[in-house]
Structure formats: C-alpha cells, structure tokens
Amino acid sequence: MSDRQIAFLAVFLGSLMGGAVTTATKIGLVSIPPLTFAFLRFFIASVIILPLFFKKYNFSIKQLKKLIPFTLFATLNIILFIVGIRTTTATIGQLLYAGTPFITSLILFILFNDRQSISKSIGIIVGFIGVAIVAFLPVLEQGKPFAGDLIGNLLIAGGVLSWSFYIVFSKKYSKDYSPFLINSVFILITTIILFPIFIVDFWKNNEWISIINFPSILSLGYVAIFGTIITYLLNQYAIKHGGSVFASMSFYLLPIFAFIAAFVLLSERLTLGLLIGGTLALLGIYLSTRK
C-alpha cells in the first residue's frame, strides 16, 4: 500500500472507532467521576501497552526528554475534554474538534511560516466562525434541548487548541520515532500525571464504587482500548504517512459517526444552530486542507 492509502485507512478506521468515544464517555460518567474515569482509562491502556513497549524498545532518557514536552499538550487535552464533556452533549463535544484542521494550519503558519493560500485562509476564518457558533450555542439557543453547556464547550475548545499543538509537533518527531513509541509515551505520561489527581479525587469521592453499573464498565473498557490505544495509534500512522493536516481530515468523519452513536445511545438531536455551525466548520476544514 502507498503512504496515501495507509494514511486514508488509518483516518477512516480511527474516525469510525473514535466517533463513539464521546458517547461512551458520557455513559461512563453517569456513575464514575470525570477525573477518575480519565485515570482509569489510561491506566488500563498502560497495563495493556507496557509489556509491548518494554519488549520492543530500549528507550533512553534523551528520547523521553524530546517526547514528553509536546506530549503534555495531549495530556492537557484529555483533562479539559473529560471535565467539559460531562456537562455538554456528545455531538457538540465531538463537533468542536472539527476545528483541529484549520487550527493546525494556523499554528503551522505562525510557528513555522507555513504559507497559506487564499482558499486556506478563507477556510480558517469560516471554520473559526462555525466552531464559535457551536461553542456558544448555550448563549445563542438559550433553554433549548441539546444546546450544550457554555463552560463545558469552552473547556473542550481549550482541549482542541491543545490537541492541535500536539498534532503539529507529532509530525515533527514522527520522522525519528515510530507511531507506537509516540503513542506509548503519551499514554504512559498521561497515566502518571493523572495518578495524583485520581488519588485526591478518590479521597473526596469514592462512593461511585458502590453504584457503578455495567454500561459504565463497558464504556470504560471501550474508551481505554479502542478510544485510547487503537484510535491514537491510528492517528499517529495517519500523521506519519499523510502529514499533520491530512491526519486532521478525520474530523470530516468524526462528527458523523459521533452523532450516529449519540442519536442511538443517548437520543441526542440536532438543533438549527448546531447544523449551521457544523456546516461552516466542515466547510472550513475542506477549504483549509484541500490541495
């Protein structure tokens, strides 16, 4: 398979599995506190990936010093997302990440002087308007069901910005490190950072252990295995073989799969503002990523 075909397959499969993550997370948060859920998600992923990691790599402190700094962007994204998604809808939570491609393009321009065409510049502007509409739906559609929560939306928007930085720097280091190594370091570092937060969270609230239900356990397993190990690994393959902007094109598909999952499992519905904002965001992606 060519690099382009590998990248496309990684984008499609990653979007298919990743689209259900927001819905699965909201199901899990019914009985598990957000930060505890985030830690357990990455702890399970670490337990699975650690044996493979140490068997395959003889990594050095020097390698970690290079990978850890930009990995912190991804970790911050996880924390902001898990806190924000609890109060907003799964569809909005995923659609906000549609802003990643044009934010990625903007970061490349500002930091690396990656010149943008007029079409891409227009796409960035249109996309920002679309994502802004989605983020501020609670203000624009006050009182309407499925308009989300302003604080939750803004927290996730912060996560989108942080994730965009991670994608940009991932491309830089993918030339020297494999997707598996980059993804493994992300999972392990995130687990370590979330551990003390989990301890404090558990000390304040451990009653969830007695009320946890099977759907929450199932959703935790799905998010840990498919939404963390496999989806993020596929994202790194897409970045390595197609580039950071091409990998961001998964956000064409993610809102579609996310809405299907939210519609079936959470009975969420689209609103007029969500349709308008989502359409502008996807149009912005198209304009800012096309050749």
CB 124 within 8 A of CB 42: no
Q: Quote the number of domains for the chain.
A: 1
How distant is the alpha carbon of residue 39 from its chain centre?
16
d(CA 16, CA 8): 12
Residues 239-246 have a mean pLDDT of: 72
pLDDT on residue 248: 66
pLDDT on residue 59: 65
**Which strand (E) or helix (H) includes residue 51?**
helix 34-56
Burial status of residue 207 (CB atoms within 10 A of its CB: 0-12, 13-18, 19 or more): exposed
Tell me the percentage of the chain whose pLDDT exceeds 70. Answer: 93
Please state which of the ranges 42-51, 86-95, 137-146 shows the lowest mean pLDDT: 137-146
Residues 3-29 have a mean pLDDT of: 86
d(CA 280, CA 240): 28
d(CA 182, CA 269): 37
Looking at per-residue pLDDT, the higher value among 244 and 255 belongs to 255
pLDDT on residue 109: 82
According to DSSP, residue 225 is labeled I
In the predicted structure, residue 75 carries a pLDDT above the cut 70: yes
pLDDT on residue 286: 76
In the predicted structure, residue 290 carries a pLDDT above the cut 80: no
pTM for this prediction: 0.84
pLDDT band, very low/low/confident/very high, at 27 (cuts 50, 70, 90): very high
In the predicted structure, residue 197 carries a pLDDT above the cut 90: yes
Range of the domain at 149: 3-289
CA distances (Å), 8 to each of 20, 34, 175, 185, in order? Answer: 19, 32, 19, 24
Please state which of the ranges 3-7, 16-20, 182-186, 245-249 shows the lowest mean pLDDT: 245-249
CB 266 within 8 A of CB 90: yes
pLDDT band, very low/low/confident/very high, at 29 (cuts 50, 70, 90): very high
In the predicted structure, residue 57 carries a pLDDT above the cut 90: no
- Mean pLDDT score of the chain: 85
In the predicted structure, residue 191 carries a pLDDT above the cut 90: yes
d(CA 81, CA 87): 11
pLDDT on residue 125: 83
Please state which of the ranges 125-139, 154-168, 186-200 shows the lowest mean pLDDT: 125-139
According to DSSP, residue 141 is labeled T
pLDDT on residue 291: 62
Tell me the percentage of the chain whose pLDDT exceeds 90. Answer: 35
In the predicted structure, residue 206 carries a pLDDT above the cut 80: yes
pLDDT band, very low/low/confident/very high, at 262 (cuts 50, 70, 90): very high
- Return the ∠ at Cα 70 (arms to 18 and 175), rounded to 5°: 85
d(CA 257, CA 75): 24
